[in-house]
Chains A and B, each alone.
Chain A
Amino acid sequence: MGVIIFYPIVDGILTSFQMRSFLQPEAREFVFLAHYRALIQDGVFWTALWNSAVLTGVSVALQFLLGLGLALLLKQRVPGITIFRSITMVTWVLPVIVIVIVFNWLVQPGYGLVNLILAEFGLPTDYWFSNTTWAMPLIILMHVWKNAPFFAIALFAAMQSIPDELYEAAEMDGASAIQQFRYITLPNISYVAMIMIVLHVLYTFNNFDFVWLSTGGGPLRTTEVLPTYVYKQAFDQYLLGYAASIGVVMLIIMMMFTVIYVKLEDLD
């Protein structure tokens, strides 16, 4: 297993120092840091890096906040709450392509549901995935739609394991609902929350499917992210070495988060 997983990494890092074409992958010529030098001057690379950071930061923040809110709702013991609990994660299992189709269909020009509703209120309509302002928010929305429920269920599970006595004691002492949340709920779910956040930062930063299948990085590169840029360099431009050097930059960024994750695990 080590060979299967680690060989590609080593080879990937090696490739980033080489001139290598997808058409003749066996022909390798060492160019040392040439790719990295080109990378620094590549405007698209910086755009993609920035877009990746925005996409990751905003989606994970929204997933966490929305998930936390939903977890608090799911905790309420109202009749029928178990039905809500059990259907929550349904979007999480859907293939990304199905999610993209759903949202693509909703924003179709003219007869997409979103546009029908907007037209009803006299608002402008558009094919929103091709809109330079709204394409990125739509991709973020798809990420949130898929993952916020997972945050909710994990945080809900963490809340379930907090003993009731803690809340009863707090109530005796006259703590308000907000104080109970701040001093009992939040500290008790922070471990799970941190793990979830780090995992989803990695997952979102690394994700290729959502952008590739919805906008392909367009319009005008406003949704270009590092994974799609690597893919294009490797499989459209056949520049394996250059693609690998972008991949190595991603690897370094993800390793920083991995270190945080491993540190968190150690606390257990």
Chain B
Amino acid sequence: MLNTLVTRFKTRLDDGMTVRRATFVYSMLLLYYGFLLIPLFWLIRSSVVTDEMLRAREINLVPLAHMTAENYAAVLSNETFRLYFINSTLIAVATTVLTLGVGIPAAYSVSRFDYPGRDYVVLGLISSQMLPLVLVLIPFFTVMFRIGLVDTRVGIVFAHAVGVLPFVVWLLKGYFDAIPQSLDEAAKMDGCGYLEIMYRIIVPLSLPGIAVAAFYAFVGSWNDYLFVSLLSQSTGTRTLPLGLQLFQTAQQVDWGAVTAAAVVTAIPVVVLFALVHKWLVDGLSNTGGKGV
């Protein structure tokens, strides 16, 4: 039985890959993915067991008899948490739309036109990634305060869009640069204006890049803690990363609810990641690791 399995396994191995080497590779993979996935497994496991099991001083990996959906019921029936979920979604979607709406034309312009100061725009894009956020925070807050955008969703969207835009432009520029200029020329011959070239040629040809950029903007907004904690002062504008504090007080933490809320917070970005994963990895290979 084992022999036939080994034989069948061997037939699936490439040249130069011995069973011994494959065994070594698998054991190292298991070691690494244990480090990677056990904490995640433990998070999910903790979110579906009873409170009594959570505090049990024994290692029980899958305590079937003590499984419960109560933590999720508690989290999802919490109205404030639901409001935070809605805020997170609205803010992240709006950030994505705004970022792409501004970022696509901006990237097109730095990719295709050579105007005075273009190099400085590109340099600004890169170096703005490298500023100490905390230094920017203070003036940013006073500006937002002056224009009355503190504690509004619009203000947070604005903050997030400003935060992710430079990188998105930089990312898209890489994709746009890869499209041959001859296509632009041909379209121009056919009487297309710059806007038409952008929407008929550049955008359709770089959809994977745009998907990655959209993902980056969404995740940047969804995961942000710092700007929301600064700009949001009431439940009406708070988002999920802050919402996770709903289930803990200084004295006590409801770990069942906290772990369930953490899973709920993580699900949207993990699902989106699964959707763009292939393009993300391709982009990494194309841009030589510059992307994301």
Contact = CB atoms under 8 A, between A and B. Distances in A.
Interface of A: 1-2, 4-9, 11-12, 15, 22, 25, 66, 69-70, 73, 76-79, 84-91, 93-98, 101-103, 105-106, 108, 110-111, 113, 116-117, 119-120, 145, 149-150, 153-155, 157-158, 160-161, 191-192, 195-196, 199, 202, 206, 208-209, 212-213, 226-227, 230-231, 234, 240, 243-244, 247-248, 250-251, 254-255, 257-258, 261-262, 265, 268
A29 B127 CA distance: 30
A258 B127 contact: yes
A117 B241 CA distance: 29
Given A97-B225, A97-B241, A102-B39, A7 B273 contact: no
Contacts of B284: 153-154, 157
A111 B253 CA distance: 13
A197 to B, nearest CB: 10
A12 B139 contact: yes
26 contacts: A4-B162, A8-B135, A11-B142, A15-B139, A69-B28, A89-B277, A91-B36, A93-B269, A93-B273, A95-B223, A96-B225, A98-B266, A101-B244, A102-B43, A105-B42, A111-B54, A116-B58, A154-B284, A196-B289, A202-B130, A231-B134, A231-B137, A247-B135, A250-B132, A251-B132, A254-B130
Where chain B touches its partner, the secondary structure class is helix
B289 A261 contact: no
A6 B133 CA distance: 12
Contacts of B22: 76, 78
Contacts of A257: 130
Contact of A101 (B57, B123, B262): B262
Interface stretch (B9-17, B149-157, B194-202, B205-213): B9-17
A77 B17 contact: yes
A102 B269 contact: no
Given A84-B33, A90-B40, A153-B281, A5 B128 contact: yes
Contacts of A111: 54-57
Contacts of B143: 7-8
A218 B142 CA distance: 29
Interface of B: 9, 12-14, 17, 21-22, 25-26, 28-29, 32-33, 35-37, 39-40, 42-43, 46, 54-59, 102, 106, 123-124, 126-140, 142-143, 145, 162, 165-166, 219, 222-223, 225-226, 240-241, 244, 255, 258-259, 262, 265-266, 269-270, 272-273, 277, 280-281, 284-285, 288-290, 292
Contact of A12 (B138, B226, B266): B138
9 smallest CB-CB distances across A and B, nearest first, come from A247-B135, A192-B289, A11-B139, A157-B285, A95-B223, A8-B139, A250-B132, A154-B289, A230-B134
A244 B59 contact: no
A250 B135 contact: yes
Contacts of B140: 8
A73 B240 CA distance: 36
Given A101-B244, A154-B289, A251 B131 contact: yes
A254 B131 contact: yes
Given A84-B33, A87-B33, A101-B262, 19 more contacts: A1-B162, A1-B165, A7-B143, A11-B139, A12-B138, A15-B139, A25-B138, A77-B14, A95-B265, A96-B223, A96-B241, A157-B281, A208-B133, A227-B133, A234-B137, A240-B138, A255-B130, A258-B127, A268-B288
A89 to B, nearest CB: 7
Contacts of B226: 208-209
A70 B55 CA distance: 35
A265 B17 CA distance: 37
Contacts of B162: 1, 4-5
A251 B139 CA distance: 15
A153 B290 CA distance: 12
Contact of A95 (B135, B145, B241, B288): B241
B288 A261 contact: no
A14 to B, nearest CB: 9
Contacts of B42: 102, 105-106, 113
A96 B89 CA distance: 18
Given A153-B284, A258-B130, A73 B13 contact: no
